[in-house]
Chain A
Amino acid sequence: MRELVILSGKGGTGKTSITAAFASLAENMVMCDADVDAADLHLILNPDFNKTSDFKGGNEAVINKDKCTECGKCIEVCRFDAISDTFKVDPVECEGCGICFDLCPEEAIDFPEVICGQWHISNTRFGPMVHARLGIAQENSGKLVSLVRQEAKKIALKQDLDLILTDGPPGIGCPVIASIGQATAILIVAEPTVTGLHDMERVGELSRHFNVPAMVLINKFDLNFDQTKKIEELAQEKSIKVVGKIPFDETFTHAMIQAKTIFEYSKNSQASIDIKKIWNTIIAMPEFNTPAANNIFIPNA
């Protein structure tokens, strides 16, 4: 079993549109939307939300006014400034460390588990999909990302699927790190802008740090040929393989408006032709045919 994680560092470079396009090309696979903060893949894949479960991501302190003697111990020990002078816990600031609950001399603090979001197992026209929705202003997005990836793996094992296609979150922090552990390879979708180049470099460093092989796809390459060249040079310097380039194409937006992949909307567009070629390149890459480091599953592809 192999898992390809689509990342970019910078947001808005085309991760989700390209993941959806791959979904219409790949066979025998399960999809996973690991952008639990602002998931968009479902807008194209129209999943049926077959099974929904709560995500209990952590606990939150609540002060019981009847028992509280306002001694101030909780305010003193809280390093997140989450408890006000009037002994109210601000749920947005509360980190869920629970030390106020442990150290309150009056046992006046409760520490209930909170529901931080929902996750879903769905059917789509391209196969099964695992996706989630982190509650607004919630913590622990990394934990939820790990959970959806774990569930996608379970489905792949149970249904004997040999590919997990994961749409990753932007950035390089907690949810991104949670989305790449034990993955077979990362595909960075870069755009030829000064920011796209800068952000791709940081994702490249992250992939090296965690020892997951990376490849790069240059989207909207004709927007700025100088920057495209710089991405190619940087990729070469960092031993990241460029798997292909796609021109700037408004067809992606037209397809998105009709909730279609670019192949369903216009299979003869230049972008469609390029993506098909790129997909064939990716699945033949040695990086994508080597078992992942520490991968506990035996690849059967």
Chain B
Amino acid sequence: MIISIASGKGGTGKTTVSTNLALSIDQEVQLLDCDVEEPNAHLFLNPIIEKNEPVLAPVPQIDLEKCTFCKKCMDICRFGAIAVLKKDVLIFENLCHSCGGCFEICPEDAIIEKARSLGEIEHGKTGDISFIHGRLDIGQVMVPPIIKKVRSYSDPDAVTIIDAPPGTSCPVIAAMSKADFILLVTEPTPFGLHDLKLAVETVKILDIPHGLVINRAGLGNDDVKSYAQKEGIPILMEIPFDKKIAQIYSKGEMIVDRLPEYKKKFHILFEKIRQLVEAKGV
């Protein structure tokens, strides 16, 4: 079962929910941190890293001996990554989406593909939890290939928890698509509600069962609750607005360790998710 934890707005508590949920399930659990621009789950779980690997993407390299400067590669590239000059070809690697069009179209076989690094993936363990995260190299823009690579290690026999990035565009889709359940985390403020509505639209496009965690409940107003009720989105858990919890988080500690009653609460959250997934399966 794959549970993707998403939010629309940043800073609502995705990582808090992902990591504490992972520690509260009595079966094989895998945590995939797919917020590869700013991965944070490791700061709470402190995994022992056992393996790391680069995420590579192909970019064209021109063999100037064979190249006739016909410009077909430049014409097929819709990302402006190739400029053919009179006696030279310039490649702008950062603009390349690795679609392979130039490689396919070149009539002279003058293009070979070489690898460039987009980021890296680390594999590790925290107790019994298997942990994998991706990290985008500084200055790189191609985020979805790293998320897809992290997700390629998803174990079908385990409960897989995905910590998704904020927003609603391509990186979020890469972290949510083909999940069995999407758990949306929001805060009861106007910004939280506005971005929750965007996240719900995204989830509806993907047509995946979903539910809501309200974090910092008690701060702000009741509009998020009214919206969820009106839309028929089940509210599966509320975490109160409490300076103590904010301080536990600030130190990189786990709520379930410091406030043990939360272990049961997160376990109930998991059971509710499981029931909703099973109900959908029938």
- Complex CA–CA separation, A202 to B35 (angstroms): 13
Q: Name the residue on B nearest A258 (C-beta).
A: B190
Q: How far is B221's CA from A11's CA once the two chains are assembled, in angstroms?
A: 21
Q: Is the interface of B mostly helix, strand, loop or mixed?
A: loop
**30 CB-based A-B contacts, threshold 8 Å:** A11-B166, A37-B168, A43-B190, A77-B101, A77-B104, A80-B99, A95-B99, A96-B78, A97-B99, A97-B101, A99-B100, A99-B105, A102-B101, A103-B104, A134-B168, A136-B202, A136-B205, A169-B167, A170-B38, A171-B165, A172-B38, A177-B141, A192-B250, A194-B40, A195-B15, A253-B219, A253-B220, A256-B190, A257-B221, A259-B190
Contact among A40, A102, A170, A194 for B251, CB-based, below 8 A:
A194
Give the CA-CA distance A79 to B11 in the complex, in Å.
Answer: 33
In the bound assembly, the distance between CA atoms of A226 and B44 in angstroms comes to 17
A98 and B250 contacting across the interface, CB-CB below 8 Å? no
Fill in one digit per residue for B8-31: 1 if any A CB lies within 8 Å of its CB, else 0: 111110010000000000000000
Q: Which residues of B contact A96 (CB under 8 A)?
A: 78
Cα A172 to Cα B135 with chains together (Å): 11
Which of B8, B168, B169, B243 has the largest number of chain A CB atoms within 10 A?
B169
A210 within 8 A of B: yes
**Which residue on B lies nearest to A103, using beta carbons?**
B104
What residues of chain B have their CB less than 8 Å away from a CB belonging to chain A? 8-12, 15, 37-38, 40, 43-44, 76, 78-79, 97-101, 104-105, 136, 138-141, 143, 165-171, 173, 177, 187, 189-191, 194-195, 198, 201-202, 205-206, 219-221, 243, 246-247, 249-252
A224 CB–B CB distance under 8 Å: yes
In the complex, the answer to whether A173 meets B191 with C-beta atoms within 8 Å is no
Whether the pair A38, B79 counts as a contact (CB closer than 8 A) is no
Q: Does A273 contact B (CB under 8 A)?
A: no
Residues of chain A whose beta carbon lies under 8 Å from any beta carbon of chain B: 8-13, 16, 37-38, 40, 43, 58-59, 77, 79-80, 92, 95-99, 102-103, 134, 136-139, 141-142, 169-177, 191-196, 198-199, 202, 205-206, 209-210, 223-224, 226-227, 248, 250, 253, 256-257, 259
Query: Known contacts A11-B166, A79-B98, A256-B190: does B8 contact A172 (CB below 8 Å)?
Result: no
Q: A206 vs B136: C-alpha distance in the bound complex, in angstroms?
A: 11
Chain A residues whose C-beta falls within 8 Å of the C-beta of B8 in the assembled complex: 38
Which of B37, B98, B177 contacts A173 (CB under 8 A)? B37
**Is A224 in contact with B37, judged by CB distance below 8 angstroms?**
no
